[in-house]
Structure 1
Amino acid sequence: MILVTGGTGLVGSHVLFKLVSSNKPVRAIYRRAHKLEAVKKVFGYYTQDVDTLYNSIEWVEANINDIPALDIAFKGITQVYHCAAFISFEPDKYHELRKVNIKGTANIVNLCISNAIEKLCYVSSIAAIGHEPHPDTLITETTEWNPEQDNSVYAITKYGAEMEVWRGTQEGINAVIVNPGIILGPGFWKGGGSGSLFRQIYKGLKYHPKGSSAYVDVWDVVTTMIQLMESDIINERYIIISENLTFKAFQHKVAKMFNVKPSSKEASPLLLAMVWRLDWLTHKLTGKRRKLSKQLAKSISVKTVYDNSKIKQDLNFEFKPIDNAIAQVVTYYLDDSSI
């Protein structure tokens, strides 16, 4: 049987759909019952037979720091897709990020060891990969992580989680790590992630940062994960991205497909520096959640270029063009009556 953590998130829900559509026996853990509706919603984008597929999943209520519940979830498991994570760039969320991303992953790794799991797939992020000092220099899986850099709290904890997976490989686990870029997929239109970005662009964005990032369709992430798990490849990490794009180019592509006005002004590093300081002050005075941290403001002002040649070569894999991925997400958004 296969265990999926984070099954109520974007990647996890799509992994679940792919596995149960292939008649794989699947167990998934969830933290809150109301989050399960998100899984049904995702399934509904791809099939009319939502209930049959959803009900084929064996659900266990647990979180990744609840060892007794995880012990139950791991019974009879042979493979694990560890998709659960806490995503935040707010500096004051650092301890919570560590608890979920690092400690939680350590718990999953330890249970994989004690249950002699055949293989583990961990969903990391390009945020956990080092950065080249010079813009436009290709970033690969071997680009060195520099702990002395002003890394975001999210990046630090995702890198720490990877260290737990590598520890597991030294203790007998077969594992693969995927490092996706910004993942494009439907169903999660609020609360951060690419879905909320689509929503913001549809409503109208005036500014775009001057930097760039890498993008990938959610199904490409899921397909590479499953192919890696079903292959003989072990103890490797892979950058999973389709294309590198400036934030301006991405926002304009989405706006064009929505047929809305694109952003017209560049958010300069100076402007972003002013905004993140104002955001910090607002947080201190009102307690409102941070929207822009110093590290995030810096990262979205830098042009980064990621290399996807390793996964393409090892799996003979071809990525979906980002224009196609954007078009599909736009269609799902416009057809979603619940927004």
Structure 2
Amino acid sequence: MKTVLLTGANGFLGGHLCRELLQRGYAVRAFVRPNTDHTVLDGLPVDIWSGDLRDPANVRAATYGCDYVIHAGARAQVNPARSSEVVDCNISGTAAVLAAAVQAKVERLVYVGTATVFGFGSRKKPGDELSPYMGERYGSDYMDSKRVATDLVLRAVREDGLRAVLVHPTFMIGPLDYKITSNALLLALYRRQLKGVPMGGKNYVHVADVATATVNALTMGRIGESYILGNENLSYREAFRLMASVMNVRAPLAPVPPLLATTIGWTSDLVHRFTGRETTLNSSMTAIANDGHYFNVTKAINELNLPQTSIRAAIAEAFSWFRQRGYV
């Protein structure tokens, strides 16, 4: 039986990756941060390894005896936009994982990034894996650190002979979101906390489809290649209407023009700066919402057999999961 070291195992995607790996007969060593919630792993026959990705010795010990590594661990914080901890975890943590994988001579490493490390495009001409990074404009340490981490992986492939494949999910929706990450959007809409509709949009994907393609990348895909894992390109108006129809609530209708969104973002920054009070938005988030982050996922469909479950189904499964657990 082949063993996979999975970092970020108790996250939203991590929970799905654990289940997909176990279903295919892999043994899983689940690397999680100390004193974090492991609920998503309850009842699963995995070897839980507690450690900090920024501790190279611990990471090396965790990697020992593993045949593969899936590095899905990261800090995905976007508010506040600037965070030294996000930068340190995503860059130093990735460097430690890469060094351990090279030393252990694993058969393959799959790095889980984000589609935002590539340039986005329009609905007619969406961005792809060759589109240059455009995220500097947002001032987001999460985006910038993931771009640097991606470059670290590519350098390890070139210089250290690491057999790595890179996968980059878009916006994931689905069940098992115990920490309420990306699916917070559904809850906010259901609770009528969204008062307007930004003018931009993004690509959405079922989290289980991402898990399938990521595990496929252990044996499929080309070394040193990146694959965007996504599905449907939707404007925020289209996405909110779809979510509202599935949850049987009213979708927000008022458009939020870019200038107004920008003003709200900068005002939130000032409130946080002068009062220290946490705000729900910042200028980075509103700038992102003004743009259309649309992507072409043909490469992943062709080379990693990325499934294309409808986003309506992803929303329905996520909402059903929330209802069963009393979130709504």
Identify the TM-score tier after normalising by the shorter chain. Answer: over 0.9
* Aligned partner (choices 194, 199, 206) of residue 187 of structure 2: 199
Q: CA deviation at 1:184?
A: 0.6
Q: Deviations over 1:4-53 (max 9, x none)?
A: 0001101111101111233311101111344112333xxxxxxxxxx2xx
Superposed CA offset, 1:63-103 (max 9, x none): 10012221221110110010111112245633212101111
Amino acid at match of 1:152: S
Could you list the structure 1 runs, at least 4 aligned residues long, displaced by more than 6 angstroms after superposition.
none
Per the TM alignment, residue 176 of structure 1 is displaced from its structure 2 partner at its CA by 0.9
Q: How much is the aligned-residue C-alpha RMSD, in angstroms?
A: 2.0
Amino acid of the residue matched to residue 242 of structure 1?
A: N
Shift of 1:265: 0.8
1:317/1:38 CA distance change after superposition, 3 Å: closer
1:31 aligned partner? 33
For the Cα contact (< 8 Å) 1:213–1:247, is it kept in 2?
yes
Indicate which of 175, 194, 209 corresponds to 1:220: 209
Structure 2 unaligned residues grouped into runs of 5+ = none
Question: In structure 2, how many angstroms separate the alpha carbons of the residues matched to 1:140 and 1:338?
Answer: 36
Cα gap change, 1:117/1:247 in structure 2, threshold over 3 Å: closer, same or farther? same
**Number of residues paired by the alignment?**
324
Partner SS, residue 306 of structure 1: coil
Q: Percent identity?
A: 26
Deviation of the 1:150 alpha carbon:
4.3
Q: Distance in 1 between matches of 2:95 and 2:164?
A: 13
Counterpart position of 2:78: 89
Indicate conservation of the 8 Å contact 1:184/1:216, yes or no.
Answer: yes
Name the CA distance, whole Å, in 2 between partners of 1:20 and 1:316.
Answer: 19
**SS of 2:292's equivalent?**
coil
Aligned mate of 2:200, from 197, 200, 211 = 211
SS at match of 1:138: coil
The reply on whether 1:237 has 2:239 as its aligned counterpart is no
Q: 1:124 aligns with which of 113, 117, 120?
A: 113
Q: Is the 8 A contact 1:102 1:158 kept in 2?
A: yes
Q: Is the 8 A contact 1:208 1:248 kept in 2?
A: yes
1:187 & 1:207 partners in 2: Cα distance?
A: 28
Q: What is the CA–CA distance in structure 2 between the aligned matches of 1:151 and 1:177, rounded to whole Å?
A: 24
Which residue in 1 is equivalent to 2:152? 164
CA distance in structure 2 between the aligned counterparts of 1:150 and 1:201, rounded to whole angstroms: 25
8 Å Cα contact 2:156-2:162 kept in structure 1: yes
- Partner deviation per Cα, 1:183-214 (whole Å, 9 max, x = no partner): 012233655x3221111111012211110100
1:328 aligns with 2:328: no
Task: Output the TM-score relative to the length of structure 2.
Answer: 0.92
Q: Distance in 2 between matches of 1:58 and 1:317?
A: 27
TM-score (norm 1): 0.89
Deviates more, 1:145-154 or 1:204-213: 145-154
